[in-house]
Structures are given as structure tokens and as C-alpha cells.
């Protein structure tokens, strides 16, 4: 009878350790996912000043657009909050970049400029990487949040202070609308 009790306690402890370590692994994946977003955003922030400088010579009358892009970049860099605040700043930056590219379409010399084309391609690639990093982060957050909410690991999560993480989401309805293409 004593051996059965010892076996039950041992199995319980092994399960507790396994569940705790699983939560730690998921939390680390969430942190890694956030770091990947951060790396891609840094790349994006580094590209934007080059883009703005390339456009300045051609777009002398579009000062406000260039200032908005610079302002949005600065705000995005300075965000110190969590995923929700970062997402809001990044969405604003994406909107200002779209307006910059829309205005740039009115400048044939700029559209044909090799530096501009290269920067646009780099920024597009970076946007794709940011998008992938966001998706990866949100997948990890979903796994982590699910693990912290399902029984019986929710008991361990609550006892050891594991809390739900925020998803990286779009804030504005315009971001969710399909892109309209017209010729």
C-alpha cells in the first residue's frame, strides 16, 4: 500500500514538473516571438529614413506626408508598452507609409528612381517579415494562453503567476478591409 502511495505522489510530482516546464517553454516561445517582431521592426525603422531622404528631393511640396512618416516612425520606436500599444503605433506607421507611396505615384521621376525602387522592395520584404513575425508571435500567444486556461494546467499557471499574453492585432477597421486595386 505504501508503494502505491509513493508511486501516486511520484507520478503527481512528475506531472507537476512537466506541466510547469511546458508553461515555461511556451512563455519563452512567446518572448522569442516578440523578439522576432522587434528585430523586423528595427529593420523597418532603419529603412524609413533612407526612404524619406530619397523622396525629399522629388517631393518638395509634400512636406506634411514626409513629416508624418518621420513622426510615426519616432512614435513606433518610443513605444514602451506591450503588444497592444506596439500594434497601435505600427498600424499608424503602416498607414503613413501607404500615404507616402500613394503620393510618390504622382512623381514619375521618383517612381523610376533606382534608389526608390530598391527601398520600396526592401520595405515590402520587411513588411512581409514583420507580418510573418506577428503571425508567429500570435500563434505562440495562442498556445500559451490556451495552456494557461485549460484544466488542470490552469491550476499550475495560477499558482506560479503565469498570466495571459496580449495578441498583436490591428486596431483600425481600415487595416481589416481588403485592398482595392484599380487600373
CATH number at residue 125: 1.20.1440.20
Considering the chain, what percentage of its residues have pLDDT values greater than 70?
A: 87
The confidence score (pLDDT) of residue 117 equals 77
- Asked if residue 9 belongs to a domain, the reply is no
What confidence tier does 11 reach under pLDDT thresholds 50, 70, 90? very high
pLDDT tens-digit series, residues 43-86:
888 888 888 777 777 666 677 788 888 888 888 888 877 787 88
- Asked if residue 16 belongs to a domain, the reply is no
- Asked if residue 70 belongs to a domain, the reply is yes
pLDDT at 176 over 60: no
- Asked if residue 172 belongs to a domain, the reply is yes
Could you give the CA distance from residue 39 to residue 36 in angstroms, rounded to a whole number?
A: 5
Cβ neighbours, 10 Å, residue 107: 16
- Asked if residue 182 belongs to a domain, the reply is no
The confidence score (pLDDT) of residue 180 equals 46
More confident residue, 67 or 27: 27
Structural domain range at position 57: 23-176
- Asked if residue 10 belongs to a domain, the reply is no
Could you give the CA distance from residue 103 to residue 59 in angstroms, rounded to a whole number?
A: 9
More confident residue, 50 or 107: 50
Cα angle 58, 60, 62; round to 5: 105
| Average pLDDT taken over every residue of the chain | 83
The confidence score (pLDDT) of residue 181 equals 36
The confidence score (pLDDT) of residue 160 equals 93
The confidence score (pLDDT) of residue 26 equals 95
- Asked if residue 1 belongs to a domain, the reply is no
- pTM beyond 0.85: the answer is no
Asked if residue 146 lies in contact with residue 165, where contact means CB atoms within 8 angstroms, the answer is: no
When divided into structural domains, the chain yields a total of 1
Amino acid at each position: 500500500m505504501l508503494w502505491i502511495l509513493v508511486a501516486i505522489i511520484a507520478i503527481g510530482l512528475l506531472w507537476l514538473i512537466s506541466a510547469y516546464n511546458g508553461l515555461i517553454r511556451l512563455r519563452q516561445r512567446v518572448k522569442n516571438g516578440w523578439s522576432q517582431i522587434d528585430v523586423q521592426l528595427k529593420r523597418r525603422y532603419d529603412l524609413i529614413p533612407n526612404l524619406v531622404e530619397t523622396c525629399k528631393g522629388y517631393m518638395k511640396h509634400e512636406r506634411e506626408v514626409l513629416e508624418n512618416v518621420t513622426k510615426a516612425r519616432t512614435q513606433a520606436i518610443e513605444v514602451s508598452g506591450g503588444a497592444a500599444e506596439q500594434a497601435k503605433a505600427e498600424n499608424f506607421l503602416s498607414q503613413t507609409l501607404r500615404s507616402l507611396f500613394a503620393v510618390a505615384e504622382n512623381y514619375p521621376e521618383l517612381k523610376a528612381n533606382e534608389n526608390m525602387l530598391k527601398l520600396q522592395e526592401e520595405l515590402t520584404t520587411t513588411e512581409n517579415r514583420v507580418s510573418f513575425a506577428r503571425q508567429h508571435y500570435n500563434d505562440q500567444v495562442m498556445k500559451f494562453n490556451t495552456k494557461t486556461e485549460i484544466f488542470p494546467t490552469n491550476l499550475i499557471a495560477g499558482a506560479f503567476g503565469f498570466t495571459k499574453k496580449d495578441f498583436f492585432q490591428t486596431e483600425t477597421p481600415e487595416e481589416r478591409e481588403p485592398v482595392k486595386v484599380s487600373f
